[in-house]
Amino acid sequence: MPEFDAIRSLFLAKTVAVVGASASPEKTGYVILKNIIDGGYQGRVYPVNPKAESILGVPCVASLADIPGEVDLVVVVVPAKAVPEVMRQAAAKGVKGAVIISGGFREIGNAELEAEVIGIARDAGIAVIGPNCQGINYLPNRLCASWPLLDVEGPIAVISQSGTIAAAMGGWAADDAVGVTATVALGNNSGVSETALLEFFAGEEDVRVIALNVEGVRDGRLFMEVAKRAAAKKPVVVLKPGRTVKGAQAAQSHTKSIAGSDAVFDAMCRQIGLIRAPGLAEFYDDCKILGMLQKPAGKRLAILTSSGGSGILAADTAEDLGIELPALPEAAVQALREALPPQCVAANPLDLTGDATASRYGDALNVLKDYDCADCYLLIFGDPIEGAAEVAEAMKAKLNKPVIAAFLGGGEVQKEEVPKLHRAGIPAFPTPERAVGALAALLRKQ
């Protein structure tokens, strides 16, 4: 697919020009330039602004033509009516990709202006993201041509019609120390389509899961073909707002997407193996777990918890979602009774009780590792349990099964341990229900 070379050049740009870079901190043309710099981009950056000497310490050029050597990517932040001229200059310069942040096109009825821009790009072989979009992040190239700044690299590639949803996904992943490979905001989605990006990320090794937020797709049949192939390679999680009558009306106003029947879309997802998230929190949770873990060999879950009440919430959710909570082998129960204090409940959930420290989880682990208790393990840490990440990592190594965590009620200790858990390859969730809900998504992996 020749388009791939253009997409790759765009993401791996060695030289980026920001056309419409601004010295005013409240302007997008300033924020974008600042984030490219602050994100640690190692290539050459040229602010294009005929009125400024330099911005943020970087010397400006008056136009694209003034840049010495090749330019791989232009980020366009000028008013809509000036965009065709910028694209003509980009074509003359041999630019390979353009991220058009500028709005003022089809979304306000200026379809002709948009068609002109896209036509120039097509003739010149320039891959366009947008227009009217929130830009891109591509962490392998430390390229943050978007906002807010995202600088934590990880396994999730986000393709999103909504810039905010892309930013939220990237922000949550950064807070969790999980990170993203890329975020792409589609905006008016007139250039490189969601489908082309899906196929591209399916082939990228760094990407372990693809998060796809769309209100509609450009070519339904092509999308189905590509999505089926992509889903066979790695998990694709889909958030499609506009499920309801009111939601579909709003989607039509937003991106002119005709939602079609939600039931049909839902059936299509199941048929071709896409994992559909019911809402935004699940969209993130599902991507996180699928980006971090292999699918368990079966759906038997064992729960270890310091919080009896949280264990019950997890058990309720497991039963709701068809995840099994098998009884522990009788020999394991006996061994746990000997290894643990008398207040512990040697069952599944295994209640280590409220005075449990990390070492008590370790004691339980030393017993459980000798039995075939479950296909995956949920560790619930209630309260401030220091060393939680360390014991969870040890458990993961000894059991050689997927381990997930829920951490709650842990104050400052929790804020330190949760990123550590993620760095150790253990996805951690803020409630028992979200942990088990994400596990259900992992079990739907092909």
Helix (DSSP H) and strand (DSSP E) numbers for the chain:
16, 19
Is residue 195 close enough to count as binding a second copy by CB under 8 A? Answer: no
Beta carbons of 429 and 403 less than 8 angstroms apart: no
The residue type of 118 is I
- 220 vs 247, beta carbon nearer a second copy: 247
| Region from 16-24, 82-90, 112-120, 354-362 binding a second copy, contact rule CB under 8 A | 354-362
- 434 vs 445, beta carbon nearer a second copy: 434
Encoding tokens for residue 442?
């992992």
Whether the ω angle into residue 131 lies within 30 degrees of 0, i.e. cis, is yes
- 230 vs 325, beta carbon nearer a second copy: 325
Footprint of a second copy on residues 379-398 (CB under 8 A)? 382-384
Here's the x/- map for a second copy, 175-194, by CB under 8 A: it reads as --------------------
Q: How far is the CB of 224 from a second copy (least distance, A)?
A: 22
Question: Whose CA is closest to 442, among 327, 288, 300, 307?
Answer: 288
Encoding tokens for residue 97?
């990709």
| Region from 40-48, 68-76, 351-359, 391-399 binding a second copy, contact rule CB under 8 A | 351-359
Tell me if residue 26 falls in helix, strand or coil.
coil
Is residue 362 close enough to count as binding a second copy by CB under 8 A? Answer: no
Binder of a second copy out of 4, 14, 63, 107 (CB under 8 A): 107
Binder of a second copy out of 67, 333, 339, 413 (CB under 8 A): 413
Tell me if residue 16 falls in helix, strand or coil.
strand
Residues in the chain: 446
Give CA–CA dist 193/130, Å, rounded. 9
Q: How far is the CB of 110 from a second copy (least distance, A)?
A: 9
| Region from 84-92, 103-111, 198-206, 289-297 binding a second copy, contact rule CB under 8 A | 103-111
How many residues make contact with a second copy (CB under 8 A)? 80
- 95 vs 421, beta carbon nearer a second copy: 421
How many other CB atoms are found less than 10 A from the CB of residue 329?
A: 14
Is residue 254 close enough to count as binding a second copy by CB under 8 A? Answer: yes
Q: How far is the CB of 241 from a second copy (least distance, A)?
A: 4
Longest dimension (CA), the chain: 79
- 157 vs 315, beta carbon nearer a second copy: 315
Question: Whose CA is closest to 229, among 198, 264, 208?
Answer: 198
Angle at 405 between CA 157 and CA 160, to 5 degrees: 20
Backbone angles phi and psi of 377, in degrees to 5: -125, 135
Footprint of a second copy on residues 196-225 (CB under 8 A)? 213, 215
Is residue 354 close enough to count as binding a second copy by CB under 8 A? Answer: yes
Question: Whose CA is closest to 21, among 77, 59, 83, 86?
Answer: 77
Q: How far is the CB of 164 from a second copy (least distance, A)?
A: 3
The residue type of 60 is C
Tell me if residue 202 falls in helix, strand or coil.
helix
Footprint of a second copy on residues 415-434 (CB under 8 A)? 430-434
Is residue 411 close enough to count as binding a second copy by CB under 8 A? Answer: yes
- 93 vs 434, beta carbon nearer a second copy: 434
Encoding tokens for residue 297?
């060999």
Question: Whose CA is closest to 117, among 84, 74, 142, 146?
Answer: 84
Encoding tokens for residue 41?
């981009």
Footprint of a second copy on residues 229-248 (CB under 8 A)? 241-247
Footprint of a second copy on residues 298-317 (CB under 8 A)? 306-313, 315-317
The residue type of 66 is D
Binder of a second copy out of 353, 371, 390, 444 (CB under 8 A): 353
Footprint of a second copy on residues 123-142 (CB under 8 A)? 132, 134
Binder of a second copy out of 94, 119, 148, 298 (CB under 8 A): 148
Beta carbons of 404 and 439 less than 8 angstroms apart: yes
Here's the x/- map for a second copy, 331-350, by CB under 8 A: it reads as -----------xx-x-x-x-
Distance of CA 436 to the CA centre of its chain: 19
Here's the x/- map for a second copy, 268-297, by CB under 8 A: it reads as -----------xxx----------------
Footprint of a second copy on residues 36-95 (CB under 8 A)? none
- Containing 413, the helix (H) or strand (E) segment is helix 411-423
Tokens 């932040």 correspond to 77
